[in-house]
Structure 1
Amino acid sequence: MLKHLKTFCPTDVSFQDLDKSFVERFKEYLDKDAMARAGKKLSQNSKYSYYGKFCAALKQAVKDGILKVNPANGVDYFKQGEPQREFLTLDELQKAVNTECELPLLKNAFIFSALTGLRWSDIEKLLWSEIQHSKEMGYYIRFRQKKTKGAETLPISEQARELLGEAGKPEVKVFEGLHYSAWSNLKLQQWMLKAGITKNITFHCARHTYATLQLTLGTDIYTVSKLLGHKELRTTQIYAKVIDDKKKEAANRIQLDL
């Protein structure tokens, strides 16, 4: 939100200049001009999230006595969009594994995310020192989530560890050289198409894949929530809804002429 606010208004603004017009213009900027990292317009949920954080800051300013009146009063919020949770089936994930990618590092990182549920931001900064092993727990990762700042201990499979190959120095990144860009997104799409997958797959879909496969294969939702590092169970329930929708689709596939 702060990044977009600085783009919208690059010069310093005092609190006395924050009025309803400023709020409306910032909202319009988010709606029509703001760009996401991949060079696309913001999704409906991103607009909802950023504007919500902006309004929360204004409410806090009123609470702290900095503002007498909240300038966002009377300005409608963005409506929250229906979350899209695209994911790969186990068969599709296997096809991706068996298909060559022009960026092997990107492929390994994506597969590792699908096997562990880690976000891009946590994979990109993952150090060898954070991958640990004990006789009781097997392999696990001790890290702090970049998004939530929560300290996590995430068990990972032996297969996920084997994917990483020989360990490097403790202070070195596991996926050294991994970068986020529109070009890497293009190479990811090309890899998927080469594997015969026509879905609109982004890197974050690997995390969705992990969550939906865990639920599909019988892991209870509370455990999946903990593995994903969610603070609230309702965040994980979005994936459960996806599974329920797939069950309904399957139930309707058998049709008889009665």
Structure 2
Amino acid sequence: MEISLRQRISKKTGRITLYLEIYKGYSKDENGKIKHNREYEYLDYFLYEKPKNSIEKQHNKESLKSAEAVKAQKILEIQNGKYGFSNTHKLNTNFIDYFKKLTKERFESLGNYGNWDSTLKHLLSYTSKTTTFKDISPEFCEGFKDYLLNKVKTKTGNALSQNSCSSYFNKFRASLNQALDDGIINDNPCKKVKGIKAEETEREYLTQEELNAIMKAECRYDILKNAFLFSCFTGLRWSDIHKLTWSKIQDFEDGYKVQFKQQKTKGVEYLDIPKNALKYIGKRGNPEDRVFIGLKYSAYMNTALTQWMLRAGITKPITFHCARHTYATFLLTKGVDIYTVSKMLGHRELKTTQIYTKVIDQKKRDAVNVFDEAFKN
């Protein structure tokens, strides 16, 4: 952030207006065009353009002196933390490097790293890699929010989904909250910026009958079939399935478990693997080897998944993530309490799991409607 004292001549009065220019860095749009972020604060001082006598000359001298004092006070306020920054050294901390550090810390987190990494890429497209905390203002936050909602395009040329925008903006806000906890800033410049509300999406899942059907149906890629069914029986996300190594699958007296390290607590936790899921992981390999070698996220894998579902008589849109929905819905349908399901899914908040209860409620309503259909007047 830079503050400069500027002058502007009024053609109407012939006087020179004094004002402060507050430069808060710049951002870039989707085309790479730079947009500078400046604010202006007009002062209650003016100068005579061509002083005619000693009085006007003295007026100019005193006005300039007063304006310089206001500028110095403004700089001092920033350094003392009035605008959310604790000191000059921390003020100049590189925000992008800080966000990269937070992203890297989440590499082992269940499904969280990908969202942080995507947010980082959007930040690098929106602003400069040299952006510091002194450049992060409420206007910067509003600008990033608008960038996500209205400027970003996917590889197919479509706008980001509302939920993706919500997720990325929340990661940006979380990074500033962390900076607050770390003592880099005294206040979160994003706190007064309204967030992006996530839309409630319909969560497709497979019923027990449909799950039995896809077990019997042929899939072009065995590795895809095994990985998807393993996800159905464990609730693991695509990212966790994809990077799962044999060292994480351990044999205990009471059965096999998948080992995880919780990013927040650094504590080790385990997820039990049902016995009927073990047949989908095959013969144990070396500890560092991936369990599902050859599994890739690609168009042909997605196509193969759709064709597999169609062979099983399933026409609703099913993605790999629907395996996780199937796991959660199946447990709740069979009477497992929501707190236990939440822990098994690795949710930090119970309200995240409660979304699945709406699916169960709908199934109950559908069951009741069977009577209305069977006994129409």
Give the TM bin, normalised by the shorter chain. Answer: 0.7 to 0.9
Q: Of 170, 174, 187, which aligns to 2:291?
A: 174
Residue 11 of structure 1 aligns to a residue whose secondary structure is: coil
Displacement of 1:74 in angstroms is: 5.2
For 1:16-95, what aligned pairs fall within 5 Å after superposition?
16-34=134-152, 41-61=159-179, 66=184, 70-72=188-190, 75-95=193-213
| Cα shift at 1:16 | 3.2
Structure 2: how far apart are the matches of 1:103 and 1:147? 36
Q: Could you tell me how far apart the structure 2 residues matched to 1:104 and 1:131 are?
A: 20
Cα displacement (A) at 1:19? 3.5
Name the SS for the 2:359 alignment partner: helix
| In 2, Cα distance between equivalents of 1:103 and 1:38 | 26
Q: Say whether the 8 Å CA contact 2:249–2:258 is kept in structure 1.
A: yes
Aligned with 2:278 (options 161, 164, 169): 161
1:64–1:118 CA distance, 2 compared to 1 (3 A): closer
Question: Comparing 229-238 with 239-248, which one deviates more in the overlay?
Answer: 229-238
Q: Which moved more, 1:74-83 or 1:233-242?
A: 74-83
State the alpha-carbon separation in 2 of the partners of residues 49 and 15 from structure 1.
21
2:345 paired residue among 195, 204, 228: 228
Residue in structure 1 matched with residue 20 of structure 2 by the alignment:
none
- Structure 1 position 167, deviation (Å): 1.2
- Is 1:215 matched with 2:329? no
1:22 & 1:130 partners in 2: Cα distance?
Answer: 42
Deviations 1:78-104 (A, max 9, x none): 122114321111111122121212222
SS of the residue 2:370 aligns to: coil
* Contact 2:170-2:195 within 8 A present in 1 as well: yes
Letter matched to residue 112 of structure 1: F
> Which residue, 77, 91, 109 being the options, matches 2:227?
109
Partner-residue secondary structure (3-state), 1:140: strand
- Gaps of at least 5 residues in structure 2 are 1-118
Amino acid at match of 2:224: L
Identify if the C-alpha distance between structure 1 residues 257 and 191 changes in structure 2 by more than 3 Å, giving closer, same or farther.
closer
In structure 1, what is the Cα distance between the partners aligned to 2:282 and 2:156? 30
What is the Cα deviation at residue 59 of structure 1?
A: 4.7
8 Å contact kept, 2:242–2:292: yes
Instruction: Give the counterpart of 1:205 among 300, 306, 322.
Output: 322
Q: Deviations over 1:140-178 (max 9, x none)?
A: 222336899763211112211122221112221111121
1:231 and 1:70 map into 2 onto residues whose CA distance is 23
Q: Contact (CA 8 Å) 1:122, 1:146: kept in 2 or not?
A: no
Distance 2:247 2:156 in 1: 31
Separation of aligned partners in 2, 1:157 and 1:71: 47
* Rg larger in structure: 2
Cα distance between partner residues in 2 of 1:145 and 1:38: 35
Distance 1:68 1:13, change over 3 A: same
Cα distance between partner residues in 2 of 1:147 and 1:204 = 24
Amino acid aligned to 1:242: V
**Aligned partners of 1:123 and 1:184: how far apart in 2?**
15
**1:211 shift after superposition:** 0.8
SS for the counterpart of 1:152 is strand
TM-score after normalising by structure 2: 0.61
Name the stretch that deviates more: 240-249 or 228-237: 228-237
- Structure 2 residue corresponding to 1:188, chosen from 305, 308, 316: 305
Distance 1:38 1:117 in 2: 29
Partner of 1:253: 370
Contact (CA 8 Å) 1:127, 1:170: kept in 2 or not?
yes
- Which digits, 9 at most, give the CA deviation of each residue in 1:200-235, with x for residues without a partner? 211111011011011112222222222212223222
Match of 1:98 among 201, 212, 216: 216
Q: What are the Cα deviations for residues 167-190 of structure 1, in whole angstroms up to 9, with x where unaligned?
A: 112221111121223432232222
Give the superposed CA RMSD: 2.8
Q: Which moved more, 1:99-108 or 1:142-151?
A: 142-151
Q: 1:39 to 1:131 in 2, by over 3 A?
A: farther
Structure 1 range deviating more: 199-208 or 231-240? 231-240
Residue 242 of structure 1 pairs with residue 359 of structure 2: yes
Aligned partners of 2:249 and 2:257 also within 8 Å: yes
Provide the TM-score with structure 1 as the length reference.
0.86
